[in-house]
Amino acid sequence: MLTFHSDKTSLRQARTELHDGALVTPFESPERVALILAHLKQSPLGEVRAPHAYGLAPVLAVHDTGYVSFLESCWQRWQAAGHAGEAMANIWPARTLPGKHIPESVSGQLGYYALAAETSITQGTFDAAMASKDVALAAVSHTLSSGEPSFGLCRPPGHHAARDQFGGYCFFNNAAIAAQYARDAGKTRVAILDVDFHHGNGTQQIFYDREDVLFVSIHGDPAVTFPYYAGYADETGDGPGEGFTVNYPLPPGTEVVTWLATLDQAMARLQAFAPELLVVSLGVDIFEGDPISAFTFKREDFVTLGERLAQLQRPTTFLMEGGYAVEDIGVNVVNVLRGFDSEN
Ligand code: OKP
Ligand code: ZN
């Protein structure tokens, strides 16, 4: 399987994440990509290619123009305002505020365009997000033109990013950008299967009222885990999109057999949809050792996951989402891709 990777994804080198009431070194680090790449290169999986630049058009096909401009200018404006730390939201158009105006100041706009507080915007954040979506686009292009599977080593991840909001370490929704790109290239039905521990609220929101992109997600129950306000089983889509969002929330500590039985249900729904392309939002934070997640996958279970997904027999693009147990991240990712290739 071909991997797509860009060195520019390392341009995001944030120093701070708001975690458990303290500013800590972000879990979502450039080291994650380096470790996956190192492990991939020791495996027989195949070549790693760099993407070309696809520009902003595929981003603006799913994201709001004002949002994209904000991301591009935020760091410079934050610095010009003389703030010492990294750019972080600390006020929102919350439920009890009118919230009818987009403020002028960068601090006000941060709250408008953020859905969570943990994620900072820094010097290279925009450029890394651009590289990340280019990786996704190159991977999906390869699958579209060849029918062969591909892996986009995206970073920062994307699935929490909504049409006009960042958060949960995500800025551009790489999976949504890739899926829309496939639609615009003429594929009529595209499915996104999100196996990250956290619900892909952004992907869900972007396609919520659409029947052409099926979104299926298995994740930690939002009643007790991030992102808390999305990912419930009764969120099934809106209007023409009714029935084209499918959520499988599972409690923390869920056993792998239960997770895999849920995957069987998810796969039945995916097969009924008969997608011309499958995008897998691949979060390996379902690993038992993940520091911020609570599922119980062991290293070998990731091989099983890859094998099962190959049974769908669909043109498939894997895009990297989460995974924070850095010492095992390379093995876990390569295991999924190996399992898929062995059955493909
Ligand atoms: C990004 B992705 C844990 C709080 C979680 C943000 C999690 C973002 C996950 N104490 N904060 O889905 O892997
Ligand atoms: Zn996650």
Whether 294 and 328 have beta carbons less than 8 Å apart is answered as: no
Cα–Cα distance for residue pair 334/344, rounded to 1 Å: 15
- Distance between terminal CA atoms of the chain? 10
Cα–Cα distance for residue pair 333/154, rounded to 1 Å: 12
pTM of the model: 0.99
Is position 136 within any domain?
yes
**Among 39, 159, 160, 199, the one annotated catalytic:** 160
- Digit-by-digit pLDDT tens for the chain (344 residues) are 999 999 999 999 999 999 999 999 999 999 999 999 999 999 988 899 999 999 999 999 999 999 999 999 999 999 999 999 999 999 999 999 999 999 999 999 999 999 999 999 999 999 999 999 999 999 999 999 999 999 999 999 999 999 999 999 999 999 999 999 999 999 999 999 999 999 999 999 999 999 999 999 999 999 999 999 999 999 999 999 999 999 999 999 999 999 999 999 999 999 999 999 999 999 999 999 999 999 999 999 999 999 999 999 999 999 999 999 999 999 999 999 999 999 88
63 noted as active-site residue = no
R_g of the chain computed on alpha carbons: 19
Per-residue exposure over 209-232, b if at least 16 CB sit within 10 Å of its own CB, e if not? ebebbbbbbbbbbbeebbbeebbe
Residue spans of beta strands (DSSP E) within 66-203: 150-152, 190-194
Is position 92 within any domain?
no
Q: Which atom of ligand 1 is closest in space to residue 292's alpha carbon?
A: 3
Neighbours of 81 (CB within 10 A): 11
Is position 109 within any domain?
no
Q: Which atom of ligand 1 is closest in space to residue 198's alpha carbon?
A: 12
- Sign of the C-alpha dihedral computed for residues 177, 178, 183 and 186 taken in this order: positive
Q: Ligand 1 atom 3: the closest Cα is on which residue?
A: 292
CA 172 to ligand 1 centroid distance, Å? 16
Is position 86 within any domain?
no
Encoding tokens for residue 268? 């039945």
Cα–Cα distance for residue pair 34/38, rounded to 1 Å: 6
Whether 62 and 177 have beta carbons less than 8 Å apart is answered as: yes
Q: Ligand 1 atom 6: the closest Cα is on which residue?
A: 168
Is position 173 within any domain?
yes
H runs (alpha helix) in 165-255? 174-184, 201-207
Is position 84 within any domain?
no
Query: How many domains does one find in the chain?
Result: 1
Cα–Cα distance for residue pair 14/125, rounded to 1 Å: 8
Cα–Cα distance for residue pair 289/131, rounded to 1 Å: 28
Question: What is the predicted pLDDT for the residue at 102?
Answer: 98
CA 34 to ligand 1 centroid distance, Å? 20
Pairing of strands 22-24, 17-19: antiparallel
Residue spans of beta strands (DSSP E) within 135-274: 150-152, 190-194, 213-220, 245-250
Question: What is the predicted pLDDT for the residue at 208?
Answer: 99
Is position 79 within any domain?
no
CB-defined site of ligand 1, < 6 Å: 19, 118, 157, 160, 168-169, 196, 198, 226, 283, 285, 292, 321-322
Encoding tokens for residue 242? 């009714």
Q: Give the structural domain span for 155.
A: 2-63+122-343
Residues 6 or more apart whose CB falls under 8 angstroms from that of 215 comprise: 191, 192, 194, 200, 203, 204, 207, 244, 245, 246
Region for 228 from its dihedrals, namely left if φ exceeds 0, alpha if ψ lies in -120 to 50, beta otherwise: left
What's 18's domain CATH number?
3.40.800.20
Question: In this predicted complex, what is the ipTM?
Answer: 0.97
Neighbours of 96 (CB within 10 A): 6
